[in-house]
């Protein structure tokens, strides 16, 4: 990280400096471990004690934080320290990647491919026929881009990403190592003899602007039409999205989630890790789904929180868990009552 003063950083993140505005930093550090010359942040109140102990030179904090005692570091106050620190990290990452330009060798670029300006193509990348690539695109080693793919501006494809034929990627997209975009959907028709006939997958995948896709995630092409990832979606690592799925704007999905074919997920949905979705269902806008839930039916009520397998409304599911926990003692009481009833009937 180049050296920046507290004042320069405050301008980047629209903050207010308290302390020495000229102090310089050149590294990032966690608040509990940061050293002189490093910048850190405090967003979680559980870490506030470190604010008064840290050796960090600059710390980004929330505007509303009331100090309990003096601090030695220069402070930058912002409305949201976590968001401001994320912005700073993003700018730092841009500084690193913006310096990457040119085409390395050996790499293959078809003669019919069209590349924009300020692009970077690393060694061992493959760009197929009739591919269109915008400006400021970074293509790292062993990336494969199939024929007729269209890619917008400011896209980063990390090592080993594969984008199959006919897929369309918008602007400001990051796809991490090993992700596969546009492999065949899982379509097989059962035959009378018990074998399965493959159903050709003729569609594509469309990824809209401002999407990030984690490492080793897979998004299958549609059987007919498109699998669609709407703008602002964030996908964690190791996610499987089947053919003809549609994921709505600004939805976030954690690792190891699997979404079966033709399921439609709304806008602003939050999905925990290891969630499984049945096929051909729909999820309303703003729904929150707890980790390891099994979603077997459509959720039609917006902003609902669900958990469990099968997934149900959160408070109802928690109540059911309490009942399940009490089943052994209830069983014992029922048996005791059965014995008592039997004894009373014998006396009668």
Q: Which of 126, 158, 176, 243 is catalytic?
A: 243
pLDDT of residue 100: 86
From 247, 272, 297, give the residue that closes a domain: 272
- Per-residue pLDDT tens digits of the chain, which is 348 residues long: 679 999 999 999 999 999 999 999 999 999 999 999 999 999 999 999 999 999 999 999 999 999 999 999 999 999 999 999 999 998 888 777 777 899 999 999 999 999 999 999 999 999 999 999 999 999 999 999 999 999 999 999 999 999 999 999 999 999 999 999 999 999 999 999 999 999 999 999 999 999 999 999 999 999 999 999 999 999 999 999 999 999 999 999 999 999 999 999 999 999 999 999 999 999 999 999 999 999 999 999 999 999 998 888 767 767 677 767 777 888 888 888 888 888 888 876
Active site residue 126: no
**Domain region containing 171:** 161-272
pLDDT of residue 1: 63
Q: Facing residues of 297 across strands?
A: none
* Residue 82 neighbours by CB under 8 Å, 6+ apart: 41, 43
Phi-psi region of 63 (alpha: psi -120 to 50; beta: other; left: phi over 0): alpha
Contact by Cβ (8 Å): 113, 128:
yes
Backbone angles phi, psi at 9, to 5 degrees: -65, -40
265 and 167 assigned to the same domain: yes
Backbone angles phi, psi at 342, to 5 degrees: -65, -40
pLDDT of residue 292: 96
| Alpha carbon distance 231, 254 (integer Å) | 17
Contact by Cβ (8 Å): 255, 272:
no
Q: Facing residues of 150 across strands?
A: 132, 168
pLDDT of residue 314: 64
pLDDT of residue 97: 76
| Alpha carbon distance 319, 326 (integer Å) | 11
Contact by Cβ (8 Å): 145, 166:
no
Neighbours of 77 (CB within 10 A): 18
326 within domain boundaries: no
User: Is the peptide bond preceding residue 310 cis, with omega within 30 degrees of 0?
Assistant: yes
> 41: domain CATH number?
3.40.1390.10
What is the tally of structural domains in the chain? 2
Contact by Cβ (8 Å): 119, 137:
yes
80 and 174 assigned to the same domain: no
Tell whether pTM > 0.95. no
From 226, 241, 272, give the residue that closes a domain: 272
Neighbours of 51 (CB within 10 A): 21
> 212: domain CATH number?
2.160.10.10
pLDDT of residue 6: 96
* Residue 321 neighbours by CB under 8 Å, 6+ apart: 308
Q: Closest Cα to residue 250, out of 274, 275, 226, 232?
A: 232
pLDDT of residue 348: 60
pLDDT of residue 54: 94
184 and 93 assigned to the same domain: no
72 within domain boundaries: yes
């Amino acid at each position: 990280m180049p050296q920046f003063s507290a004042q320069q950083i405050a301008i980047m993140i629209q903050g207010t400096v308290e302390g020495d505005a000229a102090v310089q930093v050149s590294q990032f550090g966690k608040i509990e471990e940061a050293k002189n010359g490093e910048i850190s942040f405090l967003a979680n109140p559980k870490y506030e004690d470190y604010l008064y102990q840290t050796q960090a030179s600059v710390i980004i904090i929330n505007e509303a934080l009331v100090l309990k005692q003096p601090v030695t570091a220069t402070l930058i106050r912002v409305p949201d320290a976590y968001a401001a620190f994320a912005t700073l990290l993003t700018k730092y990452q841009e500084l690193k990647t913006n310096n990457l330009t040119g085409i390395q060798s050996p790499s293959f670029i078809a003669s019919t491919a069209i590349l924009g300006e300020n692009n970077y193509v690393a060694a061992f990348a493959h760009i197929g026929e009739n591919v269109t690539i915008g400006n400021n695109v970074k293509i790292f080693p062993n990336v494969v881009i199939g024929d007729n793919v269209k890619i917008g501006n400011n896209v980063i494809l990390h090592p080993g990403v594969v984008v199959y034929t006919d897929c369309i990627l918008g602007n400001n997209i990051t796809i991490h190592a090993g992700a596969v975009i546009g492999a065949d959907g899982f379509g097989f028709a059962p035959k009378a003899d018990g074998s399965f006939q493959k159903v050709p997958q003729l569609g594509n995948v469309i990824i809209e602007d401002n999407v990030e896709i984690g490492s080793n995630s897979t998004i299958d092409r549609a059987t007919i039409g498109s699998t669609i990832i709407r703008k602002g979606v964030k996908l964690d690592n190791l996610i499987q999205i089947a053919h003809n799925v549609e994921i709505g704007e600004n939805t976030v999905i954690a690792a190891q989630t699997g979404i079966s074919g033709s399921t439609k997920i709304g806008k602003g949905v939050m999905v925990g890790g290891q969630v499984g979705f049945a096929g051909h269902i729909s999820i309303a806008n703003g729904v929150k789904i707890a980790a390891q839930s099994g979603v077997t039916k459509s959720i039609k009520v917006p902003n609902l929180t669900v958990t469990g397998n099968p997934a149900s409304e959160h408070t109802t599911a928690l109540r059911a868990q309490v009942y399940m926990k009490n089943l052994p003692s209830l069983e014992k009481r029922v048996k005791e009552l059965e014995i008592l009833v039997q004894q009373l009937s014998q006396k009668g």
